[in-house]
Chain A
């Protein structure tokens, strides 16, 4: 069933009786060619591209809860490709290009809105750094634009420009960045994968891996053993917990990141803005709520909820940037689990165990990467070779000294 404007009109006139569930609820088969663990954005995208681009059959996605119940439904929905380093920027630009064609591609309204992202500049040194980053983006085929303080003022007149401590000196804009309705990304990929024969098995928790002679033969689950030619793990946030069942220690710590939504307001925030002097980013949802967030709490956590000091810090940063926020009431906040890797960059790679593949370490930047991560993971699973934009995302980069450390803080995961 394809969605279209005509279809919406037809259903409206016939009492909406023609809509059907958009994916099946299949029983697990005894064996699949490829089993993907994790029915989040990345896992569902990988299944979708495996079926669509790489002609794979007999694919399953196993999910311990319901699809899209983890980080793909907990993030602040921002998409962008404003990275500096060679290992990262081509990958994120590939992702942004996939976002641009995504809705037509999977025939689902994900509300991709390229409303632009603006990183604010507060010092001369920061302007130099952002100029360099903008040049790196342009060299990799992305768009970047350096704005003066007056240009920023024209778009965001309500910011605290003349703050004595953190005056706004300009900004680095990426006009193609923006926001996406994150739940619809999971649903769109799930529908697209399901219609191409992928079994999406919910309420099916992986309890272990069946190994023989260093090879992974499948997964033990709460709904029985599922055999697999290849197993792909895409459970960022819980990677440590899952891969421990395969006897692996990862260059990853799990941390909690909180996100916030205010009460609904009239349109005030045209795009996405980030504070350059603290950690704060904000956009406005189509329902009117300001969606914002800041730093991770900073200690290992699997709790999916954070603590009040971070709430205070995020709100203080927000009010430093936008004094008018002081009048806005916070509606709700929540936490999500982040795979914080040792250099702040992800891993899409084979493991030392034959037939077991890993996708994780997304830190708190996984949402924007969803299409490219799924595509690159599908490429790896189908061909056993990394996708050309993801060649740097290897496990052995830590051993070999090829970290992709955007922030340059070293092996201290809570600082990335």
Chain B
């Protein structure tokens, strides 16, 4: 698989390590009333779709940026690559 890095251009997926579903960006509030059950769901449960999947890849052998890659889990086709930083900021994180 070739991941088209937003800053560095096309890179071999071998340069990256994989974390999992991009929903892991949205860490629950640890002080919330339902923190315990929400952390259980956050840590252990996955949508695991057959088809389009947004997922986190870390460019370990490169610029060490985190990417959100949208990829088809049935065909391995990569549809979109974004910087995870931009995705998180668009949601209002780390202002």
- B and A form one assembly: yes
A300 part of interface (Cβ distance < 8 Å): yes
Which of B25-33, B43-51, B80-88 lies at the interface with chain A?
B43-51
Interface of A, helix, strand, loop or mixed by DSSP: mixed
> Quick check: which of A72-80, A140-148, A152-160, A244-252 contacts chain B, the rest being far away?
A244-252
Interface status of A414 (Cβ within 8 A of chain B): yes
For B55, list chain A residues within 8 Å (CB): 299-300
**Minimal beta-carbon separation of A258 from chain B (angstroms):** 13
- Closest partner residue, chain A, to B14 (CB atom): A309
Q: What residues of A have a CB within 8 angstroms of the CB of B37 in the complex?
A: 399
CA distance A399 to B36 in the complex (A): 9
Within 8 A of B (CB), among A290-323: 298-303, 307, 309
Q: A300-B20, A300-B55 are in contact. Are A411 and B48 (CB under 8 A)?
A: no
Q: When chains A and B are docked, how far (Å) is the Cα of A379 from the Cα of B23?
A: 37
Total interface residues in chain B, CB < 8 Å: 27
A303 to B40, CA, bound (A): 28
Chain A residues with CB below 8 A from B11, complex form = none
* Given A300-B73, A302-B73: A240 and B48 interface contact (C-beta under 8 Å): yes
19 examples of A-B residue contacts, CB within 8 angstroms = A238-B50, A240-B49, A240-B50, A241-B48, A241-B50, A249-B46, A253-B21, A253-B46, A253-B48, A254-B50, A298-B17, A299-B55, A299-B71, A300-B73, A307-B1, A399-B37, A411-B43, A414-B18, A414-B20
Contacts of B1 in A (CB 8 A): 307
- Cβ of B33 to closest chain A Cβ, rounded Å: 17
- Which residues on B sit within 8 Å (CB–CB) of A253? 20-21, 46, 48
Assess the B73–A254 pair: CB atoms within 8 A: yes
Q: Is the CB of B46 within 8 A of A252?
A: yes
In the complex, chain A residues whose CB is within 8 Å of the CB of B59: none
Known: A309-B13, A309-B14. A300 touches B53 (CB 8 A): yes
Given A298-B18, A300-B55, A413-B20, is A250 in contact with B46 using a C-beta cutoff of 8 Å? yes
Closest to A249 in B: B45
Query: Which of A's residues lie within 8 Å of B, judged by CB?
Result: 238, 240-241, 244, 249-254, 298-303, 307, 309, 342, 398-399, 411-414
**What separation, in Å, do the CA atoms of A300 and B53 have in the docked complex?**
8
Is there an interface contact between B73 and A307, defined as CB atoms closer than 8 Å? no
Which residues of the partner chain A approach B20 to less than 8 Å between Cβ atoms? 253, 300, 412-414
4 new A-B pairs (CB below 8 Å) besides A244-B48, A300-B20?
A: A249-B46, A250-B46, A251-B44, A254-B48
- The answer to whether B14 touches A250, judged by C-beta atoms less than 8 angstroms apart, is no
- Residues on the B chain within 8 Å of A254, using CB: 48, 50, 73
Question: For A252, what are the chain B residues with a Cβ–Cβ distance below 8 Å?
Answer: 46, 48
Cα(A229)–Cα(B53), bound, Å: 35
Collect the chain B residues with CB atoms within 8 Å of residue A241's CB: 48-50
Say whether, besides A251-B44, A342-B44, A302 and B18 are in contact (CB < 8 Å).
no
B74 at the interface (CB under 8 A from A): yes
| Residue B75, interface by CB 8 Å | yes
Task: Give the docked Cα–Cα distance between A309 and B1 (Å).
Answer: 9
Q: How far is the CA of A298 from the CA of B12 in the complex (A)?
A: 14
A300 contacts which chain B residues (CB < 8 A)?
Answer: 20-21, 48, 53, 55, 73
Q: Which of A244, A301, A412 contacts B73 (CB 8 A)?
A: A301
Q: Tell which of A249, A299, A309, A413 has the most Cβ of chain B within 10 Å.
A: A299
Partner of B18, one of A299, A398, A399, A411: A299
Asked whether B49 lies within 8 Å of A244 as measured between CB atoms, the reply is yes
- B46: contacting residue among A240, A301, A303, CB under 8 A: A240
Chain B: which residue is nearest A310 at the CB level? B14
Complexed CA–CA distance, A253 and B48 (Å) = 5
Q: How far is the CA of A414 from the CA of B75 in the complex (A)?
A: 19
Chain B 41-71 interface mask (CB, 8 Å, partner A; 1/0): 1011111111001010000000000000001
Residues of B contacting A303 in the complex (Cβ-Cβ under 8 angstroms): 73-76
* Cα–Cα, bound, A307→B49 (Å): 20
Query: Which 7 interchain pairs have the tightest Cβ spacing?
Result: A240-B48, A302-B50, A249-B45, A251-B44, A398-B44, A309-B14, A241-B50
Return B58 CB to nearest CB of chain A, in Å: 12
Q: Are B46 and A398 in contact (CB under 8 A)?
A: no
A298 and B17 CA atoms in complex are apart in Å by 8
Complexed CA–CA distance, A398 and B36 (Å): 12
Could you say which residues of chain B place their CB within 8 Å of the CB of A399?
37, 40, 44
Q: How far is the CB of B56 from chain A (nearest CB, A)?
A: 10
Question: What residues of chain B lie closer than 8 Å to A412, measured between beta carbons?
Answer: 19-20
> Is B45 a contact of A250 with CB atoms below 8 Å?
yes
